[in-house]
Structures are given as C-alpha cells and as structure tokens.
Chain A
Amino acid sequence: MSEFVFATAQYDSGDWDSAPLVPANVIDTIARYTSIDVAPSGVIVPLSSPSLFRYPLIYLTGHLPVRFGPAESANLKKYAERGGLLFVDDHNHDIDGTFHKTANEELTRVYGAIKPVPNSHPLYSTFFKFEDGPPTTTHELNGWGDNLVHKTLSGVERDGRLALLYSSKDYSSEWNYHPENKRFMSVDNTKFAVNLVVYALTR
C-alpha cells in the first residue's frame, strides 16, 4: 500500500511557495493523531504536469494573482473528474484581495460555481468533531486581510464528494510554523488538517 504524500501545488503565476512549513506541519499532525501511513516529507507538484495525478489531495496557496495556463486548467479538470481533491487556501484571507478574486475566477472556470460548504458537512466530523464548522484562525482578525471571520468554507462537489475546498481563513499562515513548536502550544491548531486528510482518504 502506498503511503500518503502531502503535495503542494506549484502554478505558473503567483507565489505558490508562500507557506513552506505547512506541509511538514500537516505531516506531523497526521502522524501525531492517526495511524495513516504518511511520507515524512511533502512534495511540490506543478499543476501543469501529469505528476499531479499521483497525489489525489493537493494543497494550493499564495498571495498573488492566480492565472492558470491552459495546461494547468486542463489538468485540474481531469484531476477533478478522476477523483482528486484540491484544497485552496487564500494566504491573504481577504475576499477583496487579488488572490481571492483571481483564484475564484479561475477555479470557477475549471470546476463550475463554488458554493458554501455547510458546517454540518462530513468534513467537520470525519475524525475530530468541529461543531461550528471550520476552526477560526488567529490570522482572520489580524488587520491584514478583510478583518472578517469567515463562517464557512466553500467548495464544489462531484458525485457526492468534495472535489474543491476553498478557504479564506488563511490556514496557510496559521499552520506555517515548525512542527516542533507544537510542544509550546496548549491547543493544537492543525487538527482540522487531520479531518481534511481523513476526508480525502475515505470519501
């Protein structure tokens, strides 16, 4: 059986590598709470490359405008059809921001209309229970973004499962620290990543 490999999407436009410590932190948290066989390091996968299809869960983030090239759009379409889940997080956490606007425009072109994911969605109960939906991040009200707490995540479902999960909550900032730092934290703020991975592996 192959191990789970956390993959970060590399795209032609924008700063795809703006949260370099997120993969390690997610891998750490998967190992910390689950028995899922997980690779010790993440990989970076260009959206335009067929290697994309090796990773049925892909994480994409950035601050800058997102414009998918034809190869990237075509690959993402196939990725959704085949059962992949793309998790997009706005590193700006700003719904007026350029990342949000351009990413939504591009993702809508590929996936169709993006709709709010209800807080009763299985995503929030598949491993840990998040009664109020997606956990709030400390970055949402830090003044840099739109200064809003986003009540839901958005997404697109295909055949009853999420094919796209879009977050304006800036988990990229929230989880962008070295996993060793968790020993100084009273509450682990990466637990939602477990739900995300377990959901992707079981639905």
Chain B
Amino acid sequence: MTAHARLLQLRTRLALALTTRALLIGTATTLALLIVARAFTLPGWVFAVITAVGVAVAAPFLIRVRDLRALPRVALWVEERAPTLQYALVTIADGTHSPRLEAQALGVPWWTDAQKVLWRTLIAPAVVTAVVAAISIWNPLRVGGLVREAISRVGPTRPGAPVSDVLAIVHVAVTPPAYSGKPATNLNDPTSIEALVGSSVTLSGQGDPQLLTATADSAARSVAKRGDGWSLSVSMPSRPAIVRLQSAAGRSRLIVLAPIADAPPVVTLLLPAHDSIVRRAAGTYALRAQLRDDIGLRDAQFELVVASGAGENFSFRTTIVAHTVLGGSLERTLDARIPLDSLALKPGDVLQLRAVARDGNTVGGAGVGSSETRSLRIARADEYDSVAVDAAPPPEAEAQMLSQRMLINLTEVLEKRRPKLAHTDLISESRRIANDQKKLRKRVGDIVFQRLGNDPLSEEGSDEVERGKISPEQLLKLADSATSAASGSVMDVEGDETPILAINKPLLEAFNAMWDAGRALEVGEPAKALPPMRIALAAIQRARLAERIYLRGKPGTQIVDVAKVRLVGKDKGNASIREVRRPLDPAMRRRSETFERVTAMLARNPDAAADSLLLMRVDALGDAPVLAAALDDAARALRKRDNAAIPLAWTRVRRALAGHPVQRAGISPWQGAP
C-alpha cells in the first residue's frame, strides 16, 4: 500500500473518530442535563432546550471534521506525531511522488501509532458517556421515560404509533350490572367515574403494562396486557374509592370511583285512603298501591297482619296477597280486592296492611320498599256508640265527600238547565237538592257534636240550630271552649295542639257553608248555592286531612297536682359528674383546612393539587354532593391547565365548603355580634 493510500485511509478513520467523539460528548451532555432536570417539574419545552444544548456542545467538535478535506493537514497531523518523516508525507500529500519520498514515508509505521492515538481520543468521552448513561439507567429517574414523557407533553400521541407514556390517555369502559339493563358507556381521561354499584369498570391505555402499577382503595391491582396496551378491571364498590395509576416514569393519575346506589322502590298506598273502624267485617276491601323504582321492579305484594286479642294477650296472623312479578318495570300500579269475610275478623281485631315491592338488584341484594300502613279495626259491641265507628265497610272514598261532590254536580246541571226550565220545576228540583244538602249537613253536625263529647244532634236539636236557638257561630264557640277544656291551659306557641280543634273547625266551616247553600237552594237559586257548596267540599277535605293526622280516639287527660307533690319523694338524688362533651370536629372544617393547603400548593405543584382535590372528593361524595361535584370540576380544570376555568372552579369549591359570602350593610359596632 502506498503512503498516499495509507494517508487517505487515515483521513477516513480520523473523520470517523472525530464524529464519534462529537456524538459521545453531545450525548453525555444531554444525559447529564436530563439527570439534573428530573429533580424539577419542568414544562415540555425545557427538554427541547436540553437536546439543543447537547447538539450545540457537539457541533464545534463536529465542525473540525471539515478541516480534514485538505489532505496535507492530515499529513501534518501525522508528521507532528512522527517527526522522523521529515515532511515526506506532507510532500506526498501535496502531490509530489518519488520512490525516495515513498520509502522515507513508509519507513516509519506511523499508521499504527495514528490508530492508537485515535482510539485514545475516544476513550475519555466514551467512558464519560457510559458513566452518565449508567447513572440514568440505574437511577429511578429513568431518563428514557422522561424523554418519552417530554415527547408526549410536547405533541399529541399518534394513534397506532408505539406509545411511550402509558398514562398518556386512559380509556374507561363502564358496564353496568346485567340486572339494570343499561348499556355500557365509554369515557376518555376522566377524573371521576360515576356508575351503579357493582358495575364493571375497565381502564385501559397504550404501552407496556410492566411500566404501570395500580392500586384501588390502597390495595394493589394487577395490570393486564391487552393487545399492545394495558388494561385494569375493577368493580364499582359501594363506597367511594380512588384508583391510583403510577407509571414507571414517575407520573401518576388518580381516578375517583363514585358509586351510584340503587335506590329501593318507592311504594305509595292509594287505597284504602285512611284507617277505618267498622262494626262488621263484610264486603270487599279494595287495595291499590303505586310502585316506582329507579332501575326496575322485580315483584310486589300486599302484606296483611291480623292482630287479635286485648290487654296483654295478643296473637298475630300474616297473609300475603296479590304477589305479582313485575319484570323490571319502572312504574306500576298494584291492585287487589280482598273479601273481608275470608279473613274471619272478630270484634276487637285489627287488620294492618301495607304494600311491599322489591327491585331486581342482584349485586347488593334486592332493595325493599314499603308503603305506609293502614289499619281496619272491627269495633267491639261496647264501642258502637263511639264516634269513630263507620256504619259499613269503608267505601273507596269518604262518604260525605262523595255526597257533597254529587250535590255540586247536580246543582251545576240544574244551573245549566235553568233557562229552559219552568219556575215551578226549578223550585221543585232545587228543593230536592236542598233536602239532600240538609241531610248531609246533619250528618256533619252529628260528627262534630259527638267528637265534642255531646250527643248526636237529634232532629229536634237540628231544628234548634236551624230555628236559631244555637247559631253556627255559637256552635263554633261551643267547640272552641270544648277544645280549650280538653287541652288544659293554652300555651303561647303551643296553643294549637288540640286535635279536636284542627278537625272540627273545618267541619264547622262546612256545616255553616252547607247552611248557606241549603237556603239558596230552598229559594231556587242554584247559582248562589254553588260557591258555599264548594267551600263546604274544601272544608270537608281539610277535615279529612286533619283526621288522618289526629284522630284515633279521644285521649284521656290526667292532671297532676304538681305543687302538692313537689319534692315530697322520700329518696334523694345524687350529684352527678358529667364528662365534658368532646367538641365535634365537623367535616367541613377539616375540608376547609385541606383546601387551604391545596390552594397553597396550586402554583408549585398543580398535579399534586389536583390529586388532593380528588382525595377530598372521595371524602365528600357521601355527605356533600355539591362539594364533590365542584371538586371534580376543579381537578379536571387543573389537569387540563385550563387557566380560564380554574378560578371559577376554585370559587365553586370555596362556596361549597364555606357557603356563599354573607354580606351585611354597615359595620357592627360590636365585633363578633351574632
């Protein structure tokens, strides 16, 4: 090989060595800067700057390769290291060839030494690069992950491309429990998942599952491989919980599991409309209940309990009727008719009934809803003169109400027909209605008087009223005085605790209105009769409501002579030492303090602040839904770095925590005045 050829070969190697050295130095610089940068949470562009710095450091070394274009400079570089060549190599490089020069140039094996020098120049940068790389691999920092993360922060992830950040996007698939019949739903990057208890929640994303660890409610969960990504399945718990995903790159993601409980069915008993006391258990009892559920009803039935006996000796029988399978309906009406004879009710027996419905919840067990209970009591013979005993099995609605409604209907029809009727016919039909109104009025009067502890109105008594011996006003006064007597002294705010007054006042109002209506009907003026008739109907309805609340019998009143017995007891009490009641630590106060800390963290570490908000949300889901919703919004705004939404979300959280600011005009002269 000629000296010229060897020189050309060395130039190639020299160029290669210089390039390698520049690359090593650039890489080492970049890695070293990344190691430093990982100590801080920096925006994505910083990583681009770090890469640029690495390139900038490598560039001056790379530029020197350009000098190798001149072969004499390569020859000079060799001559500098092998002075015995006496510029023979430089002369050859300049294009002069002679055997003597060739022999002189090949006389010393300079190419071997040059090779060694080249290797030596690479050792230091290679060692440094290796050390830095080793630190970055060994270190939990994982510079590679950081770089990938930086890439993911700077640009969106391309679908199908190998994903470097396993938490770049988290997909969530929610499959509600089968019994609900609801479709599955999908969410992308949620901060919170709201689903029925028992729903299957599958979180998935791109990337190696080994780079991800997961915990749900502080328990480790295994992350499975799915296609070229990962997936994690959890079941929606009955109480709020947190799923924490932690990537190998040090990034974490919290997702709140917010369970929606399946509410038990709501059951309303429509019939019978009220409790009753009857003399004889005969006829048919109509039952009707309205059933509703948020997910779906499974079945429903009426439950009947018959209590027999008195004093200390009672026996009970339970019967189920009208058991109906409802097949997941959201709303249904349950009807049944029971022949009272079949229950063999004896005087003194009490029949209690209610409707019960179950939903189809197969996860936490069927939710059971029940209606209020109605009772039907069979009066004993010695109770027949009691006011509360109905004469017959209860109709489906209050008798006098129906009658009053019917009378109103008849009067309205008469009023419509009036222009076509002869005066005598009008008077005749009107008086017929007046007569019915009079009978009804007597019945109402009977009820009032009986409840006041007097005898029912006799025909004479009724006449007395009508003849003006007792005016309706006097009747009302009588009732009021009876009321006062029954309740003892009238207390200030407790003055209206007299059930008798509550029921009788509307009935007396009805009694008076019927009087006015009857008089108008007597003189053939149905139009004038209608307003008081409607007043009477409304008053009867109010009395019915009051009766539902108050009347089940007339309580006896025992009055103790407190002054007489005051402190006459033989035994004396002992002084008692209480334990000081521990002040409560209201949850809102604790949450306010946490929120203050989160606010302080906001500028420094927004991701940690968002995580803290989500933890607060889990705590608030049970008892403060408005706060929980506000916290979710705030966490989402923080995650998205939505600077426009963050202040608004923060204000919402603050108001949910401490209420709206309360403004008062002026400044109190006394600080802290209540």
Please give the residue numbers on chain A whose beta carbons come within 8 Å of chain B beta carbons, in ascending order.
5, 10, 12-13, 16-17, 20-21, 23-24, 27-29, 31-35, 38, 40-46, 48-49, 51, 54, 63-65, 67-70, 72, 92, 97-98, 122, 125-129, 142, 144, 159-161, 173, 178-179, 188, 191, 194, 198, 202-203
Contact = CB atoms under 8 A, between A and B. Distances in A.
Interface string B349-388: 0101010000000000000001011110000000000000
Given A64-B352, A72-B372, A144-B312, 15 more contacts: A13-B352, A33-B569, A33-B572, A34-B567, A40-B562, A44-B555, A67-B372, A69-B372, A122-B578, A128-B573, A128-B574, A159-B584, A160-B582, A188-B570, A198-B576
17 contacts: A10-B550, A20-B558, A24-B560, A31-B562, A32-B568, A32-B569, A34-B573, A40-B561, A44-B499, A65-B307, A67-B373, A122-B576, A122-B579, A128-B573, A179-B565, A188-B569, A191-B571
B578 A64 contact: no
B559 interface: yes
Given A20-B556, A41-B560, A64-B350, A33 B567 contact: yes
Contact of A29 (B488, B557, B558, B569): B569
B424 interface: no
Contact of B571 (A33, A42, A45, A64): A33
A113 B574 CA distance: 32
B549 interface: yes
Nearest to B488: A41
B410 interface: no
B275 interface: yes
Given A13-B352, A32-B569, A63 B314 contact: yes
Contacts of B582: 160
A36 to B, nearest CB: 10
B573 A179 contact: no
Interface in B267-312: 275, 305, 307, 312
Nearest to A10: B552
Contacts of B352: 13, 64-65, 67
Contacts of B307: 63-65, 98
A21 B305 CA distance: 28
Nearest to A179: B560
A27 B312 CA distance: 25
Interface residues of B, number: 48
Contacts of A69: 372-373
A40 B555 contact: no
Contact of B558 (A24, A49, A64, A159): A24
B372 A70 contact: yes
Nearest to A126: B576
B578 A12 contact: no
Dominant secondary structure at the A interface: loop
Nearest to A145: B312
B558 A125 contact: no
Contact of B553 (A13, A17, A24): A17
B341 interface: no
B596 interface: no
A17 B388 CA distance: 16
Contacts of A179: 560, 565
Interface string B564-600: 0111111111101011011010000000000000000
Contact of A40 (B314, B370, B375, B488): B488
A72 B548 CA distance: 12
Could you say which of B316, B550, B562 has the most chain A C-beta atoms within 10 Å of its C-beta?
B562
B460 interface: no
Contacts of A64: 307, 314, 350, 352
A144 B560 contact: no
Nearest to A24: B558
A38 B567 CA distance: 12
Contacts of A38: 562
A21 B567 CA distance: 21
Contacts of A45: 497
Given A40-B559, A67-B354, A128-B573, A203 B566 contact: no
Contacts of A161: 581
- Residue among A16, A38, A64 having the largest count of chain B Cβ atoms under 10 Å: A64
Contacts of B314: 63-64, 92, 97-98
Top 10 closest A-B pairs, CB basis? A69-B372, A67-B373, A24-B558, A32-B569, A33-B569, A127-B573, A144-B312, A13-B373, A31-B562, A27-B560
A93 B352 CA distance: 21
B576 A21 contact: no
Nearest to B305: A65
Contacts of A129: 574
A45 B271 CA distance: 25
A203 B578 contact: yes
B459 interface: no
A31 B565 contact: yes
Nearest to B568: A32
A125 B575 CA distance: 9
Given A40-B488, A41-B558, A127 B567 contact: no
B494 interface: yes
